[in-house]
Amino acid sequence: VLQCNGKTLEENYREAAILNERVIAQRHNALLDDAGTIVLKGNLCADGAVIKPSAATPALLNHTARAVVFENIEDYNRRINDPDLDVRPDDILVLKGVGPKGYPGMPEVGNFGLPLKILQQGVRDM
Q: Which candidate, 81, 43, 79, 60, places its Cα nearest to that of 125? A: 60
Q: Name the 3-class secondary structure at 41.
A: strand
What pTM was computed for the model? 0.62
Q: Where are the domains of the chain?
A: 9-119
Task: Say if residues 85 and 115 touch (Cβ distance below 8 Å).
Answer: yes
pLDDT in tens, 10-38: 999 999 998 998 888 887 888 777 677 77
CA dist., res. 40 & res. 49, Å (int) = 5
Q: What are 95's strand-pairing partners?
A: 70
Q: In the predicted model, is pLDDT for residue 122 greater than 50?
A: yes
* Nearest-angstrom CA–CA distance, 18 and 20: 6
